[in-house]
Amino acid sequence: MLDETMTYSCALFESPDEPLEQAQLRKLRLICDRLELGPDDHVLEIGCGWGSFALVAARDYGARVTGLTISREQAALARGRGAAAGLEDLVEIREQDYRLVEGQFTKIVSIEMLEAIGDDQWETYFRTIDRLLAPGGRALVQTILIPDARFARYRSTPDWIERYVFPGCLIPSLAALGPALATTRLGLYGVDEIGLHYAETLRRWRQRFLGALPQVRALGYDERFERTWDFYLAACEAGFRTRWLRDAQLVLERSS
């Protein structure tokens, strides 16, 4: 379903016919640029997935990257990709809970991981970023968002995706994150909305998924899974296209 970068988050398209891989690389480089990343930086990535950001940050910007995941399979593949690219000296992938990390980092990035932890962990999440970010450091959190006016109703009634695709998740609204941020030394200095790009990203994923159904079946997935995933991708595309869902990059800085 994913492109060659193995990036499972919103891409950023320059044109409607741009290849998905290029749009994902544009998004990753934009994040590096917003972090003002360079060779003197040590970046912590909370939720590194299969390593796409770490590869770009190390290869194209010369930064040292520590990536975190709680998935053994993701960690193994991300390490292998780093080794294949000759970046072992710059990229470290840890199979570790972000709450257990020690030390300080000049930059922190977290791309669409916040939605998965539930609202009871939001304060812990931002306090951990605050604790690990060096004074004057910068963080970028990319997250799916619910429009503020709809959040109370959404929060009170688990939707289809919460029940059948991502149990335990809760998409925040921007305003709902305010109280958690207020317990830290982090200031919010930039909010960039990219949600409409997610509609096209999801359209591409669904197209690729439906085109690969023989491979899906070969992996042992049944017709019910195919219908579930088809509906999930189509429903999310519609949500972003109608702005029922948002996606934003939040730039945070820690005071000294």
Supply the pLDDT for residue 161.
87
> What percent of the chain stands above pLDDT 70?
100
pLDDT at 92 over 90: yes
Burial degree of 247 (CB within 10 A; 0-12, 13-18, 19+): buried
Write down how long the chain is.
256
pLDDT at 158 over 90: no
> What percent of the chain stands above pLDDT 90?
93
pLDDT at 64 over 90: yes
Confidence of residue 236 (pLDDT cuts 50, 70, 90): very high
Q: What is the mean pLDDT of residues 214-234?
A: 96
231 vs 81, 99, 161, 226, 228, CA distance in Å?
32, 34, 10, 9, 5
Supply the mean pLDDT for the chain.
Answer: 96
Residue 236 is a catalytic residue: yes
d(CA 118, CA 104): 25
Supply the pLDDT for residue 172.
96
Please write the tens of the pLDDT for every residue from 21-61: 999 999 999 999 999 999 999 999 999 999 999 999 999 99
**Does an H or E element contain 231, and which?**
helix 223-241
Contact 64/40 with Cβ under 8 angstroms? no
Q: Which residues of 181-210 are buried (b: 16+ CB within 10 A; e: fewer)?
A: beebbbeeeeeeebbebbbbbbbbbbeebe
Supply the pLDDT for residue 255.
83
Supply the pLDDT for residue 225.
95
Q: Which residue in 10, 32, 48, 236 is the catalytic one?
A: 236
41 vs 37, 62, 64, 205, 218, CA distance in Å?
6, 8, 6, 33, 43
For CA atoms 108, 151, 97, 58, give the dihedral sign: negative
Tell me which architecture the domain covering 20-254 has in CATH. 3-Layer(aba) Sandwich (3.40)
What amino acid occupies position 216?
V
For CA atoms 32, 141, 73, 211, give the dihedral sign: negative
Please write the tens of the pLDDT for every residue from 197-219: 999 999 999 999 999 999 999 99
Supply the pLDDT for residue 111.
98
Confidence of residue 7 (pLDDT cuts 50, 70, 90): very high
What is the SS3 assignment for 21? helix
At residue 174's C-alpha, the angle toward residues 169 and 180, to 5°, is 75
